[in-house]
Structure 1
Amino acid sequence: MQYASTDGRGRPVAVSGTVVVPRAAWTGPGERPLVAFAPGTLGIGPQCAFSKQLAGDYQDAYEGGNIAALLRAGYAVAATDGAGYLDGQVHPYVSGADAGHALLDIARAAPRVPGSGLSAAARVGLWGYSEGGAGSLWAAQLARSYAPGLNVVGVASGGVPGDLKVVAKSLNGGAFAGFLLDAVIGMVTTHPEMPFDELLHEEGRTAVRDARTLCLVGTLARFAGGRTENYTRDRLTLDQVFAVRGLDGRAWGQIVETNKLGTGVGPAGSGARHEIRFPVLQYRGLLDEVIPAETEEATRRAYCDARVPTQWNTYLGDHLLADFQAVDDVVRWLGDRFAGRPMPGNC
């Protein structure tokens, strides 16, 4: 499907995604619940869109097992590709507002799909891991202001890159440096007025062109070990890139900071900029080699300190394995939220 959304700068944009509804009738109370799902990193090439993977066999698609588990539980799924996978677009990778809007809007659009049998009054859960974990938490933070009519009852977010500066410093020069290049392209897509192309030498421009065509495995293989110094004309370090300013005086580092999760959050009635009126599940792998524990723990602490009802789970796995290890726990947790059961949290 295609549906209307809003980009990170408040402009209308078309986004793609997939709605999947179990064939079996819903036998639980009320309307069939809906889970709005944000996939993890797939690469920013247009062929990498999650819906194109699901068009084959969702059991074989990356994170297709998450979708299958939700369907077995009887829940409908609205899985966004995220913005930027349609012709002529570029995916605004790790842009918080873009991701949050896209996830909330597919939940609003799903009941309008002919034959879905879904209700606009249905209870909605949000779920995502890694890039999708950040996207689902951004959707949670924006839900009250951007989609107040949605009946969101909970959000499950795992492997969350909550502070992009911390993540960038960890990725730079490492095995997963391709994620950093995708993030740079995402930031430039959202902020084209900022200096970028003039910072690159020809090898850097070639790297950007290549990254825009690659999916996950190709991105990691092509850019393993890459550093900002390898691609910039003056061999700029990451901190020097963060210090580069645009014509309006803002630095790249300040723009990256606007995507930090956990700032300005609070529970219902708190008056916080981002009031979260439903429980939150956050989780991570204890052996995560992609997202630093420092930022995952900090996002959890920020939510707990803000008195947002939060459950924190950990798994003895790396970044990829923890995604699979958590599936059954997440589906049960969402089921409890759909049933209206209390969640005391474990802050």
Structure 2
Amino acid sequence: MLMPGHALPHPVAMLRVFLILSLPLTLIFCIGGSLPLAKADESHYAEFYTPPSPLPGDSAPGDLIRSEPSRLVLEPSGQLGAFVADGTRIMYTSTGAKGELIAVTGTYFEPHNPWPGNGPRPLIAFSTIPYGLGDQCAPSRMFNQGMHASVGNSGFDLMLNFEETFIATMVARGFAIVVTDGEGLGTPGIPTFLNRLSGGQTLIDAARAAMKLPNTSLDPNGPVAFWGYSSGGAASASAAELAPTYAPELNLVGAWAGAVPADLSLILPYADGSILVGALGYLLNGIAAAYPELAQPLSTTLTPRGVEMFERNQVMCLVETMMSFGLRHAAPYFTTNPAELIAAEPLKTVIDAQRIGRLKPQAPTFILANRWDPFVPWGGGHQLALDWCAQGADVQFWTNEQPPFLNKTATNHLLTYWVDGERSMQWVADRFNGLPTTPNCGAI
């Protein structure tokens, strides 16, 4: 049951918006590499985002460390539209990639509208697409700004809050939302990008922390669903299969995961030459952050251009990454064939450890994949569905057949999210309303 009158923007309108945004990016990405290093002034965030040291000794994953009101805007002025919700910035404890207790930040959205469905107000724990590795890219900061821009002596940096249309629609329909920043984003350190354990655990613990916030409309034992697309899809899928053992007390009713990079070994041929090739720098930084012992061996595999990409990516948001490194080939960044590098030790074992699909989710899952996705291949999401089905999980796998279009710009990867947004939110609403699932394991 969904509230009428709060639909996502029509796919054609979203296509128009995407083209308007992508054309200027395409024109200026080629000069991005000559621009000075971007470094935004985020000093006013420092106090909240600096964790206590040490963390409270009696802390458990999902405990709240601190919270404060958070201004929510759809665009920088805050005058053009609004979230129908109140925002709270949170810092909470979770388990990092190395198994240690860490501090993570995020945003909780308390809807103004009532929940029109069955049972208590539901909570969606939301993991975003890759926003970048720089602290200024943290979703919890982007919700204060709508769009981040930094120019002048600090260089050029730009980031759009791509997923605000989803979150604004969800809260208008009565869903409570908690969006995690993930490990190392906003808080000190380098994000452990696409690390399976870190991504899943920080998303689960965001839900736990939201349930502990005072003065919300949530029932502490109320229903929860996970949501994520692209790297967020990996976090949602990982959370779904980790939850039975990591958070058995959570009332998890479903997990929606789109464009899931379930097998990282498949991505390189797709990313090579695309506008998102710079995300390889995110992955290398994520590996070095999660496995510090590999940082030095990894550095020896990089050319000077590769070292520049690796270091610059640590302070960049996604749009600058596309402009600085997009539409290049990966080979000039490495001293050896990058395909051979990821197929050999020690990266082979590390990348294999991020494989999603070896554990069985107990809650229903929905996997969305575009047949011609130019960045996260359809085959990875399809195999994830097969792996979960083989273990007896409740899986609905949906293939978006949007035909290839400007694939090096990753249009199919990004636009699929909005094209199937309504279908996806209806599936989540059905889980909260207790409707029967429609698994299709026998037809995939």
TM-score normalised according to structure 2 size: 0.70
User: Structure 2 vs 1, CA of residues 285 and 239 (structure 1 numbering), >3 Å: closer, same or farther?
Assistant: closer
Judging changes above 3 Å, is the alpha-carbon distance between structure 1 residues 243 and 310 closer, same or farther for their aligned structure 2 residues? closer
The answer as to 2:418 corresponding to 1:329 is no
CA contact 1:228–1:236 (8 Å) conserved in 2? no
In 2, the alpha carbon distance for the partners of 1:241 and 1:131 equals 22
Match of 2:325 among 214, 223, 229: 223
Q: Is the 8 A contact 2:95 2:202 kept in 1?
A: yes
Of the three residues 36, 50, 55, the one matched with 2:139 is: 50
Instruction: Trace 1:146-157 onto structure 2 (pairs within 5 A).
Output: 146-157=246-257
Contact 1:181 1:208 survives alignment (8 Å): yes
Match of 1:344 in 2: 438
Q: Which residue does 2:378 correspond to in 1? A: 293
CA distance in 1, matches of 2:116, 2:377: 42
Letter in 2 for 1:221: M
Note the C-alpha offset of 1:199: 2.9
Give the AA of the match of 1:200.
L
Structure 1 residues 1-20: aligned runs within 5 Å: 1-20=90-109
Query: SS of the counterpart of 1:65?
Result: helix
Within 2, Cα distance between the matches of 1:5 and 1:185?
Answer: 20
Please show how residues 20-169 of structure 1 align to structure 2 within 5 Å: 20-57=109-146, 61-169=161-269
Q: What is the aligned partner in structure 2 of residue 253 from structure 1?
A: 348
Structure 1 partner of 2:281: 181
Q: 1: CA distance between counterparts of 2:187 and 2:180? A: 16
Asked whether the equivalents of residues 270 and 374 of structure 2 are also in contact (C-alpha less than 8 Å), the reply is: no
Alignment partners' CA distance in 1, 2:413 and 2:300: 35
Is the contact between residue 316 and residue 322 of structure 1 (CA under 8 Å) also seen in structure 2? no
Contact 2:225 2:252 in 1 (8 A): yes
Deviation at 1:226, TM superposition (A): 4.3
Q: Percent identity?
A: 30
Question: What residue ranges of structure 2 are gaps of 5+ in the alignment?
Answer: 1-89, 148-159, 403-411
Do the aligned residues in 1 keep the contact of 2:200 with 2:236 (CA within 8 Å)? Answer: yes
Separation in structure 1 between the aligned mates of residue 162 and residue 279 of structure 2, nearest angstrom? 17
Post-superposition offset of 1:305: 2.5
Larger radius of gyration: 2
Q: Secondary structure at the residue paired with 1:107?
A: helix
Map of 2:6 onto structure 1:
none
Instruction: Give, in whole Å, the separation in 1 of the partners of 2:145 and 2:327.
Output: 33
SS in 2 for 1:2: strand
The alignment partner of 2:316 has SS state of coil
- Give the drift of 1:244: 5.5
- Are 1:208 and 2:310 matched, yes or no? yes
Separation (CA, whole Å) in 2 of partners of 1:286 and 1:169: 16
Amino acid at match of 2:243: A
Residues 277 and 330 in structure 2, CA contact (< 8 A), matched pair in contact too: no
How far off its partner does 1:227 sit? 4.6
Is residue 302 from structure 1 mapped to residue 397 from structure 2 by the alignment? no
Q: Cα distance, 1:231 vs. partner?
A: 2.7
Shift of 1:252: 1.0
Aligned residue identity for 1:254: T
Instruction: Pick which of 192-201 and 252-261 moved more.
Output: 192-201
**What's the offset of the Cα at 1:243?**
5.4
Supply the distance in 2 between the matched residues of 1:286 and 1:67 (Cα, whole angstroms). 26
CA contact (8 A) 2:262 2:380 kept: yes
Alignment partners' CA distance in 2, 1:244 and 1:28 = 51
In 1, Cα distance between equivalents of 2:398 and 2:331: 37
TM-score by length of 1: 0.89
Paired residues of 2:104 and 2:187 also in contact (CA < 8 A): no
Q: Distance in 1 between matches of 2:291 and 2:318?
A: 23
User: CA offsets, 1:261-317, max 9 Å, x none?
Assistant: 112xxxxxxxxxx23111110112233221112222222222223221111222243
Q: Which residue identity does 1:236 align to in structure 2? A: T
1:262 corresponds, among 357, 364, 367, to: 357
State whether residues 106 and 139 of structure 2, in contact with CA within 8 Å, keep that contact through their aligned partners in structure 1.
Answer: yes
Separation in structure 2 between the aligned mates of residue 134 and residue 212 of structure 1, nearest angstrom: 21
* Cα deviations by residue, 1:235-274 (Å, 9 ceiling, x for unpaired): 21124423564xxxxx2111100111112xxxxxxxxxx2
